[in-house]
Amino acid sequence: MEQAIGLIERLAKDHRGGYVVTPNVDHVVMAEQNEEFLAAYVDATLSLADGMPILWLSRLLGYPLQEKVSGSDLVRPLLRRVASSGLSVYLLGAAPGVGLRAAEVLKGEIPGLRIAGVDSPPIGFEKDPEAEEAVYSKMLGANPDIVLVALGAPKQEIMIHRWREKGAPQVMLGIGASIDFIAGISKRAPLWMSNIGAEWLFRLAHDPIRLGKRYLVRDLKFFRIAYRTLRAPRDSVVSS
């Protein structure tokens, strides 16, 4: 966590841009089938394990990651550092009004935090080049140092990758449902469930209709991917 925050702070201060992704089981599965999503991951500046299965697999492979650093766990510590460094942040995503509520919560918790702007684009904006350009231009116009993008995967990673290729100087982070969590719209799993890799079960219980297919059908493919990776020569795993 501390290393990740330090790197993000340095990138933001240097105005070099870059972006952060947080792989979990679902992302690994989607990257198998979505070339744009995979390309976004390949080009990421920093990749942080968002889920215990990713840590467990890294240990089995003999290249253990140090700890789980999920996007939701990263946001508040990062923003405390941002505030102390005089940097600014932009909140992009979540439903209308939710981002503004999250901004109010964060400013109440973190003295001196500079929020350069908040935007909640309409669903499907990324399918309209003009609408996407308007969202991008609004973000650039706010001139933030760091952008928290809460559009959900794979949309947020693909969008971030596209904007990075256009030369956006901000450091961008894909943070999933974190703005909803901060605003109190959604509830996070207890820490003990997260630490044993059962956060998905908590989320499934609270939103079975939306998440049932993801967790109970699609994400089962992770076991096949893990098995294939474990059988691959170690040199090829690291180089890939």
Residue 193 in any domain: the answer is no
Per residue of the chain (240 residues), what is the pLDDT tens digit? 999 999 999 999 999 899 999 999 999 999 999 999 999 999 999 999 999 999 999 999 998 999 999 999 999 999 999 999 999 999 999 999 999 999 999 999 999 999 999 999 999 999 999 999 999 999 999 999 999 999 999 999 999 999 999 999 999 999 999 999 999 999 998 888 988 899 999 999 999 999 999 999 999 999 999 999 999 886 665 555
User: So what's the pLDDT on residue 145?
Assistant: 98
User: So what's the pLDDT on residue 81?
Assistant: 97
In the block, residue with structure tokens 């998440």:
211
Per DSSP, the three-state class of 147 is strand
Per DSSP, the three-state class of 168 is coil
User: So what's the pLDDT on residue 237?
Assistant: 57
Residue 36 in any domain: the answer is yes
Residue 215 in any domain: the answer is no
CB contact at 8 A, 53 and 64:
no
For 163, the token pair is 């904007």
Residue 72 in any domain: the answer is yes
User: So what's the pLDDT on residue 195?
Assistant: 86
User: So what's the pLDDT on residue 207?
Assistant: 92
Reported pTM: 0.93
How is residue 94 annotated by DSSP? Answer: S
Residue 237 in any domain: the answer is no
Which domain range does residue 169 map to? 2-188
C-alpha span between 194 and 173 (Å, rounded)? 21
CATH of the domain at 61: 3.40.50
Give me the sign of the Cα torsion angle 90, 91, 93, 99.
negative
User: So what's the pLDDT on residue 20?
Assistant: 98
User: So what's the pLDDT on residue 16?
Assistant: 84
Number of domain units in the chain:
1
User: So what's the pLDDT on residue 24?
Assistant: 96
Residue 140 in any domain: the answer is yes
Residue 79 in any domain: the answer is yes
For 29, the token pair is 């599965």
User: So what's the pLDDT on residue 235?
Assistant: 66
Residue 218 in any domain: the answer is no
